[in-house]
Amino acid sequence: MGWINKQRNILDFALNSLLRRKGKNSALFVVYTGIIFLVSSIIFSSESIKRESQILLENSPEVVVQRTIAGRHDLIPEQYIGQLKSIRGVQEVKGRLWGYYFEPGVQANYTFVVPDEFLYGPGYIVIGNGVSKTFLAGKGDILPFKTLDGSYTSLEVADILSPDSEIVSSDLILLSEYDFRKVTGMQKGFYTDMILKVRNTRELQAITDKIRRILPDTRPITRNEIMRTYEAIFDWRSGILLAVISGAAFAFIIFAWDKATGLSSEEKKEIGILKGIGWETSDVLFMKTWEGLIISLSAFFLGVFFAYIHIYFASAFLFMPVLKGWSVLYPEFRLVPFLDMFQITTIFFLTVAPYTVATIIPSWRAATIDPDSVMRL
């Protein structure tokens, strides 16, 4: 009990002494919070974008096979299905039909996808939220699409995809195979690419090797490769951000180091007086620790809190353009909030711990000097 009371008194003293040097400490606090805010914003956003794309890709097929001619993606003929199916370990092969459609009226690119089972049949489409907004089209409306020969074909909106899956589905137009071939002019017997279902992922390497051998004009892409590419891109982008703010971070480190290590003669005198009136070295150290903890902990919590708001509620408006790149159509997409204790701990140990340590050492040095000589300074 006595120990707690003593700590309470020391804490009280520390708070008062912080208030006595209001200007200096609040400047430090603001810069400190800002840095933690930036660092945790970057970590939060890149981490949750990565996670999001991982969730998306988890449902994607194990292998995608594209045909390439002169290094460019080309349509893949139907006969390849049989050859791919004959490979051991491949459970299922499906041709996919998808492509892009440029709508000159609204200057936007849409994605055509023919789903495995299209419930509504020819003459109907299901559109994503973004398409519905730009066309101002609802259920039952009829939209014209320019076919390859220049004529127009009208398709009725049968349904609108739910807005939950905004990033993926916003620019989607789902349609039947018949309409797809009519609009795009893709011949029967050809597909955009093919997807393979492989039960035993241990066998993926052997399967892709065989595909390259049997069908030399194709390129098999495994899901892991796609995931790795995404990850590399996001890591690279958050790396750019880190490089940009590292200047600010260094400025802070110098500032904090200076403030924390170089005790002003006034502070030294204070320590000397405290020792003179009977404080022990340990008490002085406790006081300084409390001071450091108060500043760094509150800066830490406030910074992380603001970063959380910034990333998950304000759509990371400060640096989303950098992280997402130029190809993003929808500025208003919200990341799914998630908190990873590992990240929080990392931020904590990168900021709070060194600062606290840096404040204690010089005070310890000052506290161990003879009070008399300190007061004479």
Partner 1 sequence: MRIWIITLVMLYIVTVPAVAGQKKPLTPAQKDKCPVCGMFVAKYPDFVAEIIFRDGSYAVFDGVKDMFKYYFNLQKYNPKKTHEEIDSLYGTDYYDLVLIDGRKAFYVIGSDVYGPMGRELILFRNYSDAREFMRDHKGNAILKFQDITPKTIEGLD
Q: Using the 8-state DSSP alphabet, how is residue 309 labeled? A: I
Q: Which residues of 83-99 are buried (b: 16+ CB within 10 A; e: fewer)?
A: ebeebeebeebebbbbe
Find the binder of partner 1 among 27, 206, 244, 328 (CB under 8 A).
Answer: 206
74 DSSP β-pair partners: 67
- Least distance CB 200 / partner 1 (angstroms): 5
| The residue count for the chain | 377
From residue 245 to residue 284, the character string flagging contacts with partner 1 as x (rule: CB under 8 A) and all else as - is: ----------------------------------------
**Non-local CB neighbours of 325 within 8 Å, separated by 6+ positions:** 233, 237
Instruction: Pick the closer one to partner 1 by CB: 200 or 265.
Output: 200
> Nearest distance from residue 124's CB to partner 1, in Å?
37
CB closer to partner 1 out of 204 and 304: 204
Nearer to partner 1, 206 or 377 (CB): 206
Q: What is the DSSP letter of 314?
A: S
Per CB under 8 A, the segment of 49-57, 179-187, 199-207, 282-290 that binds partner 1 is 199-207
Burial class (CB in 10 A: 0-12, 13-18, 19+), 17: middle
User: What is the nearest approach in angstroms of partner 1 to the Cβ of residue 283?
Assistant: 54
* Closest distance to partner 1 from the beta carbon of 217 (Å): 22
Of residues 97, 99, 93, the one with CA closest to residue 63: 93
Based on the shown chain and the rule CB under 8 A, indicate whether residue 334 belongs to the binding site for partner 1: no
CA dist., res. 354 & res. 362, Å (int): 13
CB of 199 to partner 1, least distance (A): 5
Residue 213 near partner 1 by CB under 8 A: no
End-to-end CA distance of the chain: 37
Cα gap 17→243, rounded to integer Å: 36
22 vs 88, beta carbon nearer partner 1: 88
362 binds partner 1 (CB under 8 A): no
Nearer to partner 1, 199 or 228 (CB): 199
- # chain residues binding partner 1, by CB under 8 A: 9
Least separation in angstroms between residue 220's CB and partner 1 is 15
Contact string 85-124 vs partner 1 (x = CB under 8 A): ---xx-x---------------------------------
**Does 199 help bind partner 1 (rule: CB under 8 A)?**
yes
Closest CB to partner 1 among 88 and 376?
Answer: 88
Q: Which is it for strands 108-113 and 172-175: parallel, antiparallel or unpaired?
A: parallel
Structure tokens at 89: 């370990």
Torsion of CA 241, 44, 327, 178, to 10 degrees: 160
DSSP state of 244: H
Helices (H) and strands (E) in the chain, counts: 13, 13
Residue 325's nearest CA partner among 239, 244, 237 is 237
Report if residue 197 touches partner 1, rule: CB under 8 A. Answer: no
Q: Which stretch binds partner 1 (CB under 8 A): 62-70, 196-204, 341-349, 359-367?
A: 196-204
DSSP 24: H
140: left (phi over 0), alpha (psi -120 to 50) or beta: left
Q: Does 376 bind partner 1 (CB under 8 A)?
A: no
Q: Which is nearer to partner 1, 151 or 205 (CB)?
A: 205
Cα 72 to Cα 67: distance, rounded to the nearest angstrom: 8
Residue 84: CB minimum distance to partner 1, A: 14
Residue ranges that bind partner 1, judged by CB under 8 A: 88-89, 91, 199-200, 202-203, 206, 210
